[in-house]
Amino acid sequence: MADYFVGSKEYFPGIGKIKYEGPKSDNPLAFKYYDAEKVVGGKKMKDHLKFAVAYWHSFCADGTDPFGASTIIHPWKTDAKTPMEGAEHKLDAAFEFITKLGAEFYAFHDRDIAPEGETPAESEKNLIAITDKAKKYQDATGVKLLWGTANIFTNPRFLNGAATNPEFGVVALAAAQIKAAIDATIKLGGAGYTFWGGREGYMSLLNTDMKREKDHLAKFLSIARDYARKQGFKGAFYIEPKPMEPTKHQYDFDTETVIGFLRYYGLDKDFRLNIEANHAELANHDFAHELETAAAAGLFGSVDANRGEPRNGWDTDQFPNSYYETAAAMLSILKVGGFTTGGLNFDAKIRRNSVDPADLFIAHIGGMDAFAAGLEIANRVITDGKIAGFVKNRYSSFDSGDGAQFEKGGLTLEALSGIGTKAGYGKTGLTSGKQEYLENIFNQYLLGL
Ligand code: XUL
Ligand code: CO
Q: Which helix (H) or strand (E) covers residue 21, if one does?
A: none
Pocket test for ligand 1, best of 196, 344, 349 (most atoms within 8 A of CB): 196
Tell me the sheet residues that pair with 111: none
Q: How far is CA 438 from CA 354, 386, 433, 442, 445, in A?
A: 39, 9, 9, 6, 11
Q: List, for residues 217-233, the tens digit of each pLDDT value.
A: 999 999 999 999 999 99
* Mutational pocket test of ligand 1: of 240, 247, 346, the residue with most ligand atoms within 8 Å of the beta carbon: 240
Q: What pairing do the DSSP bridges indicate for beta strands 236-240 and 271-276?
A: parallel
User: Distance, CA 438 to ligand 1 centroid (Å)?
Assistant: 34
State the average pLDDT over residues 412-424. Answer: 98
Residues 158 and 170 sit within 8 Å (Cβ to Cβ): yes
**CA 224 – CA 327 distance, rounded (Å):** 35
CA angle 103, 105, 108 (to 5 degrees): 125
Q: What is the pLDDT of residues 203-261, one digit of tens each?
A: 999 999 999 999 999 999 999 999 999 999 999 999 999 999 999 999 999 999 999 99
Q: Which of 358, 444, 398, 389 is nearest to 28 (CA)?
A: 358
**Res 180: pLDDT:** 99
Q: Is the pLDDT of residue 27 over 70?
A: yes
Where do the H-state alpha helices sit in 188-314? Answer: 210-230, 255-264, 277-282, 287-296
| Gap between the Cα atoms of 372 and 321, Å rounded | 11
CATH: 1.10.10.10, 3.40.1790.10, 3.30.70.270, 3.20.20.150. Which one for 19-384? 3.20.20.150
Q: Give the integer Cα–Cα distance in Å for 301 and 255.
A: 11
CA of 252 to the centre of ligand 1 (A): 12
Q: Indicate the pLDDT class of residue 349, thresholds 50, 70 and 90.
A: very high
107 with 54: CB under 8 angstroms? yes
Residues 435-448, mean pLDDT to the nearest whole number: 94
pLDDT per residue over 106-157, tens digit each?
999 999 999 999 999 999 999 999 999 999 999 999 999 999 999 999 999 9
Ligand nearest the Cα atom of residue 196: 1
Q: Which whole number is the average pLDDT over 293-300?
A: 98
Q: How many other CB atoms are found less than 10 A from the CB of residue 354?
A: 17
pLDDT band for position 448 (50/70/90)?
A: confident
Which residues have C-beta atoms less than 6 Å from ligand 1?
109, 149, 194, 196, 240, 242, 276, 304, 315, 347
Gap between the Cα atoms of 90 and 98, Å rounded: 12
Instruction: Name the pTM for this structure.
Output: 0.97
Q: Please give the full DSSP string across 345-393, using - where no structure is assigned.
A: EE-----TT--SHHHHHHHHHHHHHHHHHHHHHHHHHHHH-HHHHHHHH
Residues with active-site annotation: 109, 112
Neighbour-count burial of 68, counting CB atoms closer than 10 A to its CB (0-12 exposed, 13-18 middle, 19+ buried): exposed
Please tell me the predicted confidence (pLDDT) of residue 449. 62
Report how far residue 328's alpha carbon sits from residue 331's, in angstroms, rounded to the nearest whole number.
5
Residue 2 is predicted with a pLDDT of: 79
CA–CA gap between residue 221 and residue 164 (Å, rounded): 11
The Cα–Cα gap between 412 and 332 comes to: 34
pLDDT at 251: 98
- Domain regions of the chain by residue span: 19-384, 387-446
How many angstroms does the Cα of residue 274 sit away from the middle of ligand 1?
A: 10
Please say whether the dihedral angle defined by the alpha carbons of residues 83, 177, 243 and 435, taken in this order, is positive or negative.
negative
Rounded Cα distance between 76 and 24, Å, is 35
| Distance between CA atoms of residues 370 and 344, nearest Å | 12
For residue range 265-288, what is the model confidence (pLDDT) as tens digits? 999 999 999 999 999 999 999 999
Distance, CA of 142 to CA of 361 (rounded, Å) = 20
| Torsion, CA 319, CA 270, CA 180, CA 192, rounded to 10 | 40
Say yes or no to pLDDT of 1 above 70.
no
Residue 386 has pLDDT above 90, yes or no: yes
d(CA 260, CA 240): 14
Ligand nearest to the CA of 195: 1
CB hemisphere CA count around 279 (13 angstroms) = 28
CA–CA–CA angle 202, 208, 209 (5° rounding): 120
pLDDT of residue 328: 98
Which ligand is located closest to the Cα atom of residue 316? 1
